[in-house]
Amino acid sequence: MNDEKHYLTPLFEPQSIAIVGASETPGSVGSTLVRNVIDGGYTGKLYFVNPRHEFVYGQKAYDSVESIPQRLDLAVICTKAETVPAIVEACGRAGTRNAIIISGGFAEMGPRGANLLRATLDSAHRHRVRLLGPNCLGIMRPGSNLNATFANGSAHPGTIGLISQSGALCTAILDWALPNKVGFSNVVSLGAESDIDFGEVLDYMVADPRTESIFLYIEGIKNARRFMSALRAAARAKPVLLIKVGRHPAGRQAALSHTGALVGADDVFDAAVRRAGVVRLGKVGQMYAAAQALFSHFRPRGNRLMIVTNGGGPGVMAADYAADIGIPLAEIGTAARERLDALLPPTWSKGNPIDIVGDATPERYAAAMKVCLEDDNVDGVLVILTPQAMTDPTQSARAVIEASKKSDKPVVTCWMGGEQVYEARLLLRGAGIPTFHTPEPAVELFSHISNYYRNQQLLMQAPASIADHVAPRLESARLVIETALAEGRKVLNEMESKALLAAFRIPIAQTVVARSPSEAMVLAEEIGLPVVMKVDSPQIASKSDSGGVRLNLNSLAAVRDAYTEIIEEVKKHRPDAIIHGIAIEPMIQKTNGRELVVGMTRDQIFGPTIVFGTPDSDVRSDALCAQRAVALPPLNKFLVDDMLASTRIAARLGEYRNMPPVNMEALEAVLLRVSEMVCELPWIQELDINPLIVDEYGAVAVDARIAIENLPLTAGRYDHMAIHPYPSHLITEYQTPDGQVVTIRPIRPEDADMEQEFVRNLSPETKYYRFMNTLKELSAAQLVRLTQIDYDREMAFVATTQSDGKETEVGVARYATNPDGESCEFAIVVADAWQGKGLARRLMGVLIDTARSRGIKYMNGDFLAENRRMIQFVTSLGFVLSPHPEDPGLKRGVLTLN
């Protein structure tokens, strides 16, 4: 696992290219490709393949890739679909490493096209040729003068990596970018993603030093787990921005319960993006400003915006728009207000926006900015200037630039007007400070910056699959589910649903079922009046709509009569429903209670989704969108707090209408337990707690409904999750012969400091053998890569000991899965003082068992030939050694895991 070029480098930085289907026919794809490559100034070896022509544009044309007198890095294929399988086969025989299939006419054309694609992929896999496409625009790498696309135009060199699922939108973005002087490091059109997909291209751009930020244009997601894994890995290293178009239709299950009605597919995509540490944009035009801002010198930190302006109207415009998009205005602290009183005219606004009055000088701008940037209540500043008679736009811009240099808080500017502010805008842009003509896009940009900060915090979270508090009764919960499935039932009754909640320590209102009026009276007497009575029927989701609910029954006579009334009314409204009896439970009366809805629904793409809202929330009403929140499990306290804060419901949970605040710890505990249920019970398709009543004393689930489904026999523990939880079930401990307790556990993002200290304390020889260079300590990027791992695609186990209450790392072993999905690369290093004590063998045993359980067939490693101790160690584990194919100073080891 040493640092080396990404395996897709020959595709995106090819030294030799063949265009198969090269042509001189005006307007043809083959002709456009040839002209783009030539006119772009490509400096590598370029070959043309066309058996019907001897020359193309004066250059020799070959009849096949196999006739070309050298091995190719890349073949660009633009012939008819029916010719492509044979061409890819020829590429494989010739040793070509990569191919871009521009051609269309495959799976989108029906069974015949699907068969052609299958034959193409068979040839590619057999010869280990990687394919981009088919039906794609191609690729550009402007800094290397490579334009292997059939787009009508080129692109400026720059630092943005563009990945697009749509060739048409790719050309539209390029057309927009050229006159706007927006440059790209790479432009990649994915097409049908038959082989190389989003994830692999993202991985390449993360490794590419020319790419500083990544922009994605997304139409649809095929594999949520792979998409989230790649997106999260990329966002840990570089700013990632995306535009997502279209909405996935809500699944059929959404109609089964109230929880389903609370969530729309776009809500879920937003939740996924937030959790991945990515910024979602609304328009292409926002791309450059956002990318530039996220790579400026400032450090995003929050969303409290301070507005400084020399005109009241523009300040109000900015404040109004901030309120529209949920950006809170910062409140001026007492100390800051006193400083501003001393610095500004008596007529200043005394609040946010800070109106520094129309005669504001550059010095007044600088003074106001200094106070704002030093105020802990402020996360960023928007500075607005209108060119009034006493205004000096250029010198004011210089003052803003100087003030911003003394702080790492985001500064966004809006110099309104035209000719008078032209020079000032040039100065601001040159200093890397975003500037706009009107306040709204400036506020919008600040929202992207603050969203990036928040989403990066969410990205850092690695919640455990089972929380650290009292463990749930998993076996009991699974037995309830297995019994229902064995009886052919897919919907649990209320008692079974509540049994599952109780198994996960969620407080419930005790429910019993009566099957006659007399039994109802006996049970009501035992429970204690008043009671609630509800029909018990698997066909009825909304009991009140069918007349199946009676509340606050205070006498046994009322209970007897209600039993008969419910049966008669339900049969009238739902004659098809099977009635098992009438459920009876205590009437929950909480004077200060708030009724909420908590549950889980299955998104068609991202799977289990936690939903939180109020019973009156409605997915069809934009006005009520803020009354619900959506999050992807697994959750932890930080993620739950973010989820709750993202809704207007939060205000009703504090002091509200003379009611005291609710017990937030109890509400958080319910959400965490629901997350646990989602992770550990993959059979659950939908869960609905409606209502959950919360007051100052606690929370109780009054009603619950759970839908379940059988699992495939091959289903893994967390296959149903878009985000793999922290695998706490892999934590083990053992005691050394001298009595020390060693914990071996998966690494966490919070281990960064411990990992840095571990590497720093390694001897120079151990560092050299592990990293194959003489580094002193890990860079920030290396720390991120080593500690913020994706537990689906890789694994790292740290061995730690406790001393004086401090956890100390004494060893680490890790593997990363290769693109073939069948093999992985591993690395291991043990602290010098722990070498020769058997720790390495323990770590490797855990690592090998985990890789084997994930279906990995081979474990590979590269070792310095001089590292005899390591070579002896891996040989004893069963690795087969051979000379490294590219470096005589290394040995390649392979362990067969199956």
pLDDT digits (tens, 9 = 90+) for 405-420: 989 899 999 999 999 9
Share of the chain above pLDDT 90, in %: 62
Q: The tokens 């040995």 sit on which residue?
A: 891
Report the alpha-carbon distance of residue 104 to residue 315 in Å, rounded. 52
Beta bridge partners of 356: none
Our CA dihedral for 466, 471, 473, 475, rounded to 10 degrees, sits at: 50
User: Mean pLDDT across the stretch 868-883?
Assistant: 94
Lowest average pLDDT, out of 151-155, 341-345, 469-473, goes to 469-473
pLDDT in tens, 478-516: 999 999 999 999 999 888 999 999 999 999 998 899 999
Q: Look at residue 622 and tell me whether its pLDDT is greater than 50.
A: no
Give the pLDDT band of residue 141 (cuts 50, 70, 90).
Answer: very high
User: Mean pLDDT across the stretch 741-766?
Assistant: 92
Give the pLDDT band of residue 203 (cuts 50, 70, 90).
Answer: confident
Strands (E) across 50-136 are located at: 55-56, 59-62, 74-77, 98-101, 130-132
Give the pLDDT band of residue 245 (cuts 50, 70, 90).
Answer: confident
Give the model's pLDDT for residue 160: 92
Report the alpha-carbon distance of residue 600 to residue 604 in Å, rounded. 13
Strands (E) across 474-593 are located at: 491-492, 512-514, 531-536, 549-553, 581-586
Report the alpha-carbon distance of residue 94 to residue 780 in Å, rounded. 42
| More confident site: 681 or 109 | 681
Q: Look at residue 286 and tell me whether its pLDDT is greater than 90.
A: no
pLDDT in tens, 96-105: 999 999 998 8
| More confident site: 395 or 889 | 395
Q: Look at residue 618 and tell me whether its pLDDT is greater than 60.
A: no
Q: How many CA atoms lie within 13 A of 713 on its CB side?
A: 0
Q: What does the DSSP 8-state code read for residue 739?
A: S
pLDDT in tens, 666-700: 999 999 999 999 999 999 999 999 899 999 999 99
Q: Look at residue 106 and tell me whether its pLDDT is greater than 90.
A: no
Give the pLDDT band of residue 466 (cuts 50, 70, 90).
Answer: low
Give the model's pLDDT for residue 3: 46
What value does the mean pLDDT of the chain take? 89
Highest average pLDDT, of 262-266, 631-635, 817-821, comes from 631-635
Give the model's pLDDT for residue 251: 38
Beta bridge partners of 513: 583
pLDDT in tens, 311-330: 999 999 999 999 998 899 99
pLDDT in tens, 254-270: 434 445 555 557 888 88
Report the alpha-carbon distance of residue 323 to residue 763 in Å, rounded. 56
pLDDT in tens, 380-389: 999 999 998 8
Give the model's pLDDT for residue 662: 93
As given in the structure block, the two tokens for residue 698 are 């606690």
The amino acid at residue 708 is I
Give the pLDDT band of residue 469 (cuts 50, 70, 90).
Answer: low
